[in-house]
Structure formats: C-alpha cells, structure tokens
Structure 1
Amino acid sequence: MGFSDYLVWLFWAFIWISFICVVIFIIFDLFSDHTVSGWGKAGWIILICFFPALGALIYLIARGKGMAERRAYGREEVREDDDYKPRRFDNPADEISKAKALADQGVISQGEYEAIKDKALRATG
C-alpha cells in the first residue's frame, strides 16, 4: 500500500465519517421538531435507512432552513436559562433594615418580615 493509496483511503474515511455525522444530526433534528407527526418521523427514518444519501439530501433540501431556525431557537432558550442567577444579599443588615421599614409602614406583614430576615441571615452563611 503506497502513500497515494493511504491518501485515498483517508479521503473516503473522512467522507464516510462526515456522512454519518450528517445523518445523526438529521435524526436529532427530526426528533426535536414537534411539528412533525410520529408517522412523518417514521417515514423520514425509513427513507434515510433504505436510501441514506438520497434521504439525507432530500431532508436537507426540504427542511434545511427549518433546521437552522430550530437550532437558533434552541440556543436562545439556553441563553435565557443562563441569565438566571439566584438572589444574593450583599449586606444582610441593609436587607433587614429595608424589610423592617416596609413592615413599619404596613406594606408587608410581620411574618413576611421574619421570612426576609431569616433568608438574609441564611444567605450569609
């Protein structure tokens, strides 16, 4: 086996691995799409199983734009989830004094004041 045979083998190995990655990506996209019925998903899977190259090509042509939109929508959901940060009390004394002022004004009840005070004291450790 010469060097040129090795390069040809490497090229075809790359093509096969790339094709398998595309098919797996298509399958993940297909099952993440909630607009396609179960029979529709089964039909796409059968097409991809029996005619892999043709099925993948048809899927990418027919639903390629939707794939990009679903992927972008999924990234936005993840970003929204990442924005959540639990509330931290920088200075528990300030929080307690604010809660005491609200309790004295009658804005919050005595029970709510106690809950805020306990939460602020627990947040400090």
Structure 2
Amino acid sequence: MDDYPLLNVFWTMMWFFLWIMWLFLLFKVISDIFRDHEMGGWGKAGWLIFCILLPYLGVLVYVIARGKGMSRRDAKQAKDAEARFQEYIRQTAGTQAAAGGPSASDELARLADLKTKGAISEEEFQQAKAKVLA
C-alpha cells in the first residue's frame, strides 16, 4: 500500500468520476442533436462529426453555442410528458374533465342505486351500464 498513497487514490477516483460525468454529457449532447427538430440534417451531421472527432472540444462548443436551446427542449419535453401523463390518468380514471360531467364510476354507482330502489329494471340498468362503459 505504500506505493500508492491515499492522495493518489483520491485523485484517481476524482478523474474517474469526472470522466463518467463527461460521458453522460456527451450522450446528452448527442441525444439533443437528434432531438432538435429545428436543425437540418446537415447541421446534425456536422455537430455529430465534430463531437465524435474532437469529443472534448465538440461537447464544450455545443454546450456554449446551443446550451440555452438544449434547456428549452428539456423543459418542453418534460412539460409534454407531464401533459401526456395527466391525460393518461384522466382516461384511466374515467373522468370527463372536458365535459365537466361525472366520472364513469360515479355514474355506475348512481345507476346501481336507482336499480336498488326499483326506479329502473335490470334490463334498463344493463343498457345504461353498457352506454356508460362504451
């Protein structure tokens, strides 16, 4: 253990983690290049070649030149994902938020209550239930 002091272990670990962070940044830049719909094919090819041939310089220049757009695209993607998730929840829960009406489960509970009270027959209940679930 005398031939590799603790400070050298620290520096080795630091450089290793910096290298891993740089790899994450490289993949982030490459995914952003392909995600940008405003950039043309030749622009994407140029940035990709620049980032592959001169990786450290290419990533640094890309972040400086297009970093603001990169963050805007990230925010837009997160906002779109949240909107899709909320829409999925609305569809799954059966709510009719746009119409402002009751949910399917509320409507089924109301129909079951009407059937129990004798206000509607079994046949009417089944027809109304099929309509609500459609």
Offset at 1:29? 0.8
How far, CA to CA, are the matches of 1:117 and 1:73 in structure 2? 40
- Are residues 1:18 and 2:30 paired? no
Structure 1 residues 93 and 20, CA, compared in 2 at 3 Å: closer, same or farther?
closer
Give 2:106's aligned residue: 90
Offset at 1:36? 1.0
How far, CA to CA, are the matches of 1:19 and 1:119 in structure 2? 57
Structure 1 residues 37 and 90, CA, compared in 2 at 3 Å: closer, same or farther?
same
**Matching residue's letter, 2:30:** I
Alignment of 1:1-125 (within 5 A): 1-84=4-87, 85-86=90-91, 87=94, 88-92=104-108, 94=110, 117-120=129-132, 122=133
Q: Which structure is richer in relative contact order (CA contacts within 8 A, separation 6 or more)?
A: 1
**Matching residue's letter, 2:130:** D
**Matching residue's letter, 1:21:** F
Offset at 1:53? 1.0
Count of aligned residue pairs for this structure pair: 105
Q: Secondary structure at the match of 2:105?
A: coil
What is the Cα-based RMSD across aligned positions, in Å? 2.2
Offset at 1:54? 0.8
**Matching residue's letter, 1:34:** H
Residue identity over aligned pairs, in percent, reads 34
**Matching residue's letter, 1:51:** L
TM-score by length of structure 1 reads 0.74
Offset at 1:89? 2.4
TM-score by length of structure 2 reads 0.70
How far, CA to CA, are the matches of 1:93 and 1:14 in structure 2? 58
Offset at 1:93? 5.9
Structure 1: runs of 5 or more not aligned: 98-113
Offset at 1:91? 3.5
Offset at 1:79? 1.3
Structure 1 residues 19 and 93, CA, compared in 2 at 3 Å: closer, same or farther?
closer
Stretches (4+) displaced over 6 A: none
- Answer whether contact 1:89 1:95 (CA < 8 A) is retained: no
Q: Secondary structure at the match of 1:89?
A: helix
Give 2:121's aligned residue: none
